[in-house]
A and B are shown apart, each in its own frame.
Chain A
Amino acid sequence: MHEGLVVPTANERSINTTKEIVRGRQRVEPIRERLKTAFPVRPEHTEGDDRPLAVTAADADALRARFARIASQPLPGLTVEWEPQAEPGVLHGTACLGARIQPLTLLLRSFEAYPAVRCISPVGCVHQSVDHWRIVASAARGTARIGAILTAKSRTYDLTVEDEMLLTVNEGVDATRVAALAWRVVTLADALEQEHLPGRDEKLAKFRAELDQEAWRGR
């Protein structure tokens, strides 16, 4: 499509979806120089009506502010102690589950035309030491999804519980929706921690640095 962007011939020219799924995401270095199309562009191709953006910078700012307000209102049925917000679109907190605690992170995302909130709760380092089918069995009636991280690096967690939901035009239901989402996620994460990492009840501080990186995943 562009001049100078040539795939090395030694590389595979096809995509094996099975391999790609297992491989996970890789950070790709952005192209910083100006691209030049390999196709002729006539002047009339660059003409057109000016149309306003469907979503403006002001809309994005308003959405980030709305997301931040989640931490300033009570969540029905769930007590969360929020950390001071360090980055727009990211909230870290600790859910209180009776005598136990469970860290969680909320991320502002989008899905099609809707804003969305993803909730992630780390379980700990589990899946490389516990039989996978034992984890499957303990999560079979779960109310959220399990996520795994494959890496050779030392990490504070390699198993997560996470899920996502949409925000509607009605901000008045945000607290109710987020509370239900967070409840489903943290209760399953805590149950997995109790079963597969007995005696542990880790705090947010342990996972914080890697949870910060979650905000950049998939961008």
Chain B
Amino acid sequence: MDVDWRLLCKATGLTVDGDHVAIALDDGRWHRVAVSEKSDAYRLTAIVAGRAVLSQVADAPIRIWLRNRETQLVGFSIDRRGRLKAEAWVPKAGLSAEELRLYLRTVAAEADRFKFALTGEDAE
């Protein structure tokens, strides 16, 4: 159960900055993924859109919940600050560097993809 996510990230060449990992996307863009440690899992989150952007999206909750039925590993929700975030829970048990990298890459890519679908804009 005792795994250090920073060591796992470094083992696969990812750039760790405090509690964040910078994930390279296509076309030279990047998305930052936050990592928070829970008792039996790591919670990965990436901000998709802020409150101001989300308020311009019609039927935002339904669009998010429909997408959640289709996406794999990553889900979307609106936090208490009104931001749309992408999230994945990574079990610590049996976790490898390669698996963690796959989760991080998937969170960043899905956040980027959904932001484009909602706003037509690329990742932050």
Binding site for B on A (CB under 8 A): 17-18, 21-22, 24-25, 109, 111-112, 114, 116, 118, 127, 132-133, 135-136, 139-150, 159-160, 162-166, 168, 170, 172-173, 176-177, 180-181, 184, 217-218
Known A-B contacts A21-B66, A162-B68, A164-B73; A176 and B99 likewise in contact (beta carbons under 8 Å):
no
Name which residue of chain A comes closest to B90, CB basis. A165
Which one of B8-16, B21-29, B44-52, B57-65 contacts A? B57-65
Binding site for A on B (CB under 8 A): 40-41, 59, 61-70, 72-73, 75-80, 87, 89-91, 93-96, 99, 102-103, 106, 117
Known A-B contacts A22-B63, A148-B62; A140 and B77 likewise in contact (beta carbons under 8 Å):
yes
Name which residue of chain B comes closest to A137, CB basis. B80
In the A-B complex, the 9 residue pairs with the closest CB atoms: A145-B75, A148-B65, A173-B94, A132-B61, A173-B93, A147-B69, A145-B68, A176-B93, A168-B94
Taking the closest CB of chain A, its distance from the CB of B89, in whole angstroms, is: 7
Q: Which B residues touch A144, using CB under 8 A?
A: 75, 89
Known A-B contacts A148-B65, A164-B72; A177 and B77 likewise in contact (beta carbons under 8 Å):
no
Query: Taking each of A17, A25, A148, A176, which has the highest tally of chain B beta carbons within 10 Å of its own beta carbon?
Result: A148
14 extra interchain contacts, Cβ-Cβ under 8 A, other than A25-B70, A146-B65? A18-B117, A22-B66, A24-B66, A109-B72, A133-B61, A135-B61, A145-B77, A147-B69, A148-B61, A148-B69, A160-B69, A163-B75, A166-B103, A181-B91
Q: Which A residues touch B65, using CB under 8 A?
A: 127, 146-148, 159
Name which residue of chain A comes closest to B91, CB basis. A177
Taking the closest CB of chain A, its distance from the CB of B26, in whole angstroms, is: 17
Q: Which B residues touch A136, using CB under 8 A?
A: 61, 77-78
Name which residue of chain A comes closest to B118, CB basis. A18
Q: Which A residues touch B70, using CB under 8 A?
A: 24-25, 218
For the residues of A in contact with B, the DSSP-based class is mixed
Contact: A145 with B87, CB < 8 Å? Answer: yes
Q: Which B residues touch A159, using CB under 8 A?
A: 65
Name which residue of chain A comes closest to B114, CB basis. A21
Contact: A150 with B89, CB < 8 Å? Answer: no
Taking the closest CB of chain B, its distance from the CB of A141, in whole angstroms, is: 7
Query: Taking each of B77, B95, B106, which has the highest tally of chain A beta carbons within 10 Å of its own beta carbon?
Result: B77
Taking the closest CB of chain B, its distance from the CB of A205, in whole angstroms, is: 23
Taking the closest CB of chain B, its distance from the CB of A147, in whole angstroms, is: 4
Question: Mind listing 6 A-B residue pairs with CB under 8 Å?
Answer: A21-B63, A141-B80, A144-B89, A149-B69, A168-B96, A176-B91
CA distance A144 to B93 in the complex (A): 18
Of A25, A147, A150, A173, the contact of B91 (CB 8 Å cutoff): A173
